[in-house]
Every structure is written in C-alpha cells, then in structure tokens.
Amino acid sequence: MAGSNMSLAVLLLLSVLLTGVTHAGPDMDPYKILGVSRGASQAEIKKVYKRLAKEWHPDKNKNPGAEDMFIKITKSYEILSNEDKRANYDRYGQTDDTQPYGSGRYGQQHDNFYFDESFFNFPFNGQNHRDFADSKYTLHFNQYINDVVPDSYKRPYLIKITSDWCFSCIHIEPVWKEVVQEMETLGVGIGVVDVGYERRLANHLGAHRTPSILGVINGKVTFFHYAVAKEHLKQFVEDLLPQRLVERVTDKNDLQFLNSWHELNKPHVLLFDQVPVVPLLYKLTAFAYKDYLQFGYVDQGLSETANLQKQFNINTYAPTMLVFKENIDKPADIIQAKGMKKQIIDEFMSNNKFLLAPRLVNQKLFDELCPVKQFHRRRKYCVLLITGDEETFSSGNQAFLSFASTNTKEVVRFAYVYQRLQQPLFIFLLFVQVVILERRNTAGKALFKPVTAWNGSEEDKQLLLDELERLQKDPSILSHDAMLPELNNEFASMFVIRWIYASYDYLSEVIDDILHNNWREMMPLLSLIFSALFILFGTVVIQAFSDSGEDKQTKPKAKDGSKAENGSPGTGTSSRPPKKNFVEVTELTDITYMSNLVKLRPGHMNIVLVLTDASKNILLSKFAKEVYSFTGSLTLHFSFLNIDKHSEWMNMLMEYAQDTMQIDADEDDGGNYKIDYTGHVLALNGYKKYLCLFKPVYTGEDLDSKSRSISTLQIHHKLDRLGLWMERLLEGTLPRYYIPTWPGLDKITPSK
C-alpha cells in the first residue's frame, strides 16, 4: 500500500512538473499588453510603447513586477513593430520562435527542463550553456586597453556586460545574437565582458549592473539606455558615429564638394544609391577612412540629382561608388555591385587613399607616403616639389601634377610642400626645386638628390624622367644626406573647430547620462564637476586677494615708470626685466655691435630702427609705441642705427641683400641718387645671418599748414604699419634675405 502511494506521488509530481514546463504561464497577447487594437498603425504602436517603456522601466519603477512587465512590453513591441512577426502572430498566434508567445519565460533557447544531465537543469547563463559562443568575443582588461581603444578610432564597438547568474541577460540573448551577426558583417567591433571574471574592466567601463550594453568610439564609452530591440541597437550604433561624416550631394553643391580636394588635400568619394537614408555600411566606411577620404552621398530618387547621374552615366540597378582625385570631371576609379560587401569596399578605399600628388601637410602623411626603407625589395622613393602657394607657381605645380599622373611605378610617390608652411623642411633646400629622396630611418635621416629648379618646362620633365630611370638602375645617385625635421601640422588651426564639435558631443553625452543613468553611475562625473568648480572658485578668490595687494604696491612705482618713459625713450639702457612701463632701445654702435648682433644667441633677433639726427626724437617716440606690445618676448631686442654716422655699413648690408634694393631714391643737387633709409626697420638674426626689412609707408593725411609741420607729420607716419609687420615677423611669414656675413667693424665705426 505504501509502495503504491509512493508511486502515485511520483507520477503526480512528474505530471505537475511536465505540465509546468509545457504551460509555464497563461497565454499573453501583445495587443493587450500594449493596450492597442489589432488594427493599430505603426505610429500608434510606437507612441504607446514609448509611454509604457518609460513608465515600467526598472530604473524608474520600483514595483517588484516592473522588470517582468518591462520585458513583456519590449517583446510585444518587437513582435508588433515587425510586419512579418505581427502577421505570423495574427495568423497562428505564435512569434518567430518555435513556441507560442508566453509558453516559456526564457524562450526556446532556454526551455530545457530535462532529466538527462541533471534533474534541475536551470537556464542560467553558465559557462557550459553560454549562447552562440560568447567566448569568441570575451574581452580582458589588457585586451581592451591595448586593442579595442586604439581600434575604436577606426570603428565603433558594441559591448555587452553580463554574468553567469544574470536572469535578465537570458532575455536579450536572441536579439543580441541577431544584432551581432548583422553588425559584425558591417565592420562593427563586438565584445562581451563577464563581470564574474573581469570586474576590473567592468569598473573601468563604468558598468555597475547586468545586463548592460555600451558602445565605444574614439576611446569614449556611451551606454545604451533603451529597450533591447534590433532596431534600437542598430540606431544606437549609428548614433555613435559623428554627424558630419557624409555630405549629401546634389546638382547644386556637387562642384563645391568635388573642388574642395585641394583645400582638404583628400580624394573625394561619391556613393550613388536609391535609398533616401545613407546606408550604415557607408557611414562606417566613412568613419574608418575619415583621415584619408572625403565622403558624399547622392540619392538617386531625388530629381535634384538627375544631372549628376546623367553626367557620370550612373545605372540605377546597383549602388555605384566613384572616387575623384585632382580631376573632378572624370572619376579616378569606380565600383558598382549589388549588395556591396565590406571587404570589397575596404580594398577599393585602400587603393585610393591618396591623391596623385598630395601636399605634405603633416608628419603622419609623410610617413605613409614616404615610408622608411626596410629592405632592398621594398624601396620607396619620393619625388618632392618644393614650391609656393602663390599664383606665380600655379603653372609649375600643374605641370608637376601632369607628370605625376603618368607615373606607373609603384616604388615612386609624388608629393609637394609649400615652403611658406613647411619652413623647417625648406631650410636645407634653399630654392624651389624637385628633389628625389629616400628615407633611411625614423630619426629623420634621408638620402636625396636635387634634380632641377622646376618651372614645368618640357626640359624639366625630361630631366626628371631621366633621373628616375637612372635611379631604377643605380640607387647610389642619391648622394646627399640630411636629417629631415618633423613636418608642421598645417591643419593644426582646425583644432578649435574639432574642439567645439567634441565639446558638443560630450555635452550631449552628459545630458543623456543625466536623463538615464542612476546616481551611482553619475558619481564620478559629478565628482569631477564639483572638483573643477572648487578649484576654479579657489583660484578666483586667491587671484582677487593677490591682485589687490599688488595694486597697493605698484601705485607708488607708477610715477617713476612714467618719468622714465617721458625722459629719454631712445637711449634707455636699463637692464630691468621685460615687464616694464617703457621700451628699452639701445643704439647700435661699435661698442654694442658684437653683443647685439654678431654674437646674438640662437633664436634671438634685434629689431633695429634706422634714423637720422633730425628725425631721432620723432621716430623713437613712434617706434616705442608701435613695439611696446611686443616687449614681453625675451627673444626680441630693440636698437636704433644713426644713418648719419653709419651710412657705409647700411649700404654694405643692402648690397648683400640685393632683393631689398627696391627702395625709393632721391636726387641730390649734384644729380646723384641717394637712398633714404630713414624710417626703415631691420629684423636681424645674428646667428642664422638673415634679415627682414620694413619699408615705411606714409598713411597720414596732408595738412594745409607750414611745410615744416607737414614734414614732421610725414616722418611720424612712416612707422604706421610697423605693428602689423611685427605680427607677421613673429608668425614667420615675412620674406628673409640671407647674407654671407655681417659687415665688419670698420663699416659700423663712423669715419672721423
């Protein structure tokens, strides 16, 4: 009797368990969960979903059943927002899974309550039951720092934070699997962080709960805050990308877009497609090659693009990609295919990363175009044109580009530099010319051979062609060597614009975090903000007290400073620090000649005003006012030269720098022409032996008064534009006149 009762109890228990497995819960209707009718439109469903998701989000709703309700809402929206899944449910009462909606809490992947391995084979996310090979994407701390962060500057990463005993993680697995399979083919990086094994990495990312999904791009971490649905995750990845990656091109702005190749120094890519939205694959490609190419998109469905399609003979049956280089009328390369794959696009972009003859605008581009020699079979030679950006050089530059377009040798690259913008490189190449060079090491050593003073003639082209043929047979013709300096970054001025864009993106991210994150995740940011405010407030308070103390101390000294300024501004020889109330100007004589010019320290310059006895007081006063704002520089010294005493030295200096001789001359009583140097200013670099010249230009208005007053006024206005000239001097944009040597002491000493 007891045995039969025991058997009956076991059978009853098994019946209950099997029934519970098959009917884990009552049937659930997604229409009822969202509270919409079966004929509801997609707009109505989306509106209701957003309201319910916000109401039942577990971070905001502390009801014990909020998490389950939120999952039901998400799953219901996933079904009804997809036309295929919705039709399947309306017809069969089933989702895309193999079981009715609501027949199991964790879906088909986890309905595994069997007796084969264990009586209680719970659907936890254990290591032996982890879905679709999460271990393939598992990240470790060092791997994230060394691989993922640098790579995030070329492609975004989608990372899931999970753990072995995370019930909620099981619900997102089907969606995560589907999204990963699609995003990975587009080039998005995938990662999985198991909190149980990589707590350090999870803390570093700021992930304090599971499951979490985050994106990493340009080294920055952004959390996903919405319902885990395929459409939401795809939009999240797209939102990670910068907003100005791809420009929309029509018949109105196509020339403006293509003509910007010279300013941006990049080839331009145009994608023709029939979809109104820029494909995500194209955006990801634009992000990966943003440093090399400029991207545009042409919507073939718009009437405003008809002329473009006709001009380049674009077919509508498949997407078409064109690359334009220096010639905007004809594409340099073209690719057309249905369903373009990432591998094909990457190969296409890699083969068209540079212009035919790009301008060297920074060291990174120089390193890629002209790599350091590794071994004999991988020699790379660069044909470099040292030129200018003025109109007079345009014909020679165009001839160089024409010559480069005929190049068929893979070992030869063509490039050019503007001598005005790359002064360090121009130092060892003093004239506009073509140079063939080969880099030998990363320290800057290079072998080179000057070919010709290039003007673009047929003779120049033939000479360059002959030298390249000789180089192919005998590399030893590169007989000169030099240590090349690092190139200036010509796009450094764009840093402010990039900083503004970065600040905008960061501000948007902060606002998004404030709206979605909990206080625990916001603590590091809030701590940083309050620390910065505290430091700023403390600095202001300390500065205010220190300024008030200094004002009291400097008031008695102000009168002394004004006396010194009004006393003798032209002959001050004080050795006080640069921050003072007057300009210290010394006279250039045989006594001060060596220290103020010949033996001037490297990097220092002497600004010398040329005057006469008659104009001394007027010019010195005006000179002091014009250069006063530049006296804070420790590398500038100020002097004056009396031309009445040292005219022979001045004439000798001007003979050395013959280009400066275009100076107006006056005819004296004897019929001879005498050059008037009064009011000229010389910037003398004693160490490098060059000078910059300021020529006075009278900008004052004539007065109807005595001739003496007019003459005095004209002398005073000779230095009107000296301040602007000083700014150009500090910018390094003034022409420099090199001399073989400074005139001797006998030329500076006045004849008795």
Residue by residue, DSSP assigns 384-448 as EEEE-SSGGGHHHHHHHHHHHHT---TTEEEEEEETTT-HHHHTT--SS-EEEEEE--TTSEEEE
Q: Secondary structure of the chain: what % helix, strand, coil (to 5)?
A: 45, 15, 40
In this predicted structure, what is the pLDDT of residue 321? 93
Summarised one tens digit per residue, pLDDT across range 412-421 is 889 988 877 7
Summarised one tens digit per residue, pLDDT across range 707-722 is 444 466 577 788 888 8
In this predicted structure, what is the pLDDT of residue 428? 55
Burial of 297 (0-12, 13-18, 19+ CB in 10 A): buried
Residue 83 has pLDDT above 50, yes or no: yes
In this predicted structure, what is the pLDDT of residue 22? 40
In this predicted structure, what is the pLDDT of residue 334? 92
Beta strands in 180-325 (DSSP E): 189-194, 212-217, 220-223, 246-248, 268-273, 294-299, 320-324
Identify which of 502-511, 535-544, 621-630 has the greatest average pLDDT. 621-630
Q: How confident is the model at residue 129 (pLDDT cuts 50, 70, 90)?
A: very low
Better-scored residue on pLDDT, 264 or 425? 264
Summarised one tens digit per residue, pLDDT across range 549-599 is 544 544 444 444 433 333 333 333 333 444 566 788 888 888 888 888 888
In this predicted structure, what is the pLDDT of residue 13? 47
Is 519:481 a contact under the CB 8 Å cutoff?
A: no
In this predicted structure, what is the pLDDT of residue 651? 83
Residue 161 has pLDDT above 80, yes or no: yes
Q: How confident is the model at residue 283 (pLDDT cuts 50, 70, 90)?
A: very high
**CB within 8 Å of 146: residues ≥ 6 apart:** none
Backbone angles phi, psi at 24, to 5 degrees: -70, -20
In this predicted structure, what is the pLDDT of residue 652? 84
Cα–Cα distance, 309 to 312 (Å, whole number): 6
In this predicted structure, what is the pLDDT of residue 24? 38
Polymer length in residues for the chain? 752
In this predicted structure, what is the pLDDT of residue 257? 93
Cα–Cα distance, 416 to 351 (Å, whole number): 20
Q: Output the six-digit token pair for 109.
A: 């992947």
Half-sphere exposure (CA, 13 Å, Cβ side) for 405? 10
Cα–Cα distance, 426 to 418 (Å, whole number): 9
Pairing of strands 681-685, 605-611: antiparallel
Distances, alpha carbon 331 to alpha carbons 244, 328, 352, 531, in Å: 23, 7, 11, 54
Q: List domains and CATH numbers for the chain.
A: 30-91 (1.10.287.110), 132-240 (3.40.30.10), 247-352 (3.40.30.10), 363-483 (3.40.30.10), 586-661+675-747 (3.40.30.10)
Residue 384 has pLDDT above 80, yes or no: yes
Crossing angle (nearest 10°) for helices 167-186 and 66-80: 40
Residue 117 has pLDDT above 60, yes or no: no
In this predicted structure, what is the pLDDT of residue 566? 39
Return the number of other C-beta atoms located less than 10 Å from residue 373's C-beta. 17
Whether the full predicted model's pTM is greater than 0.85, yes or no, is: no
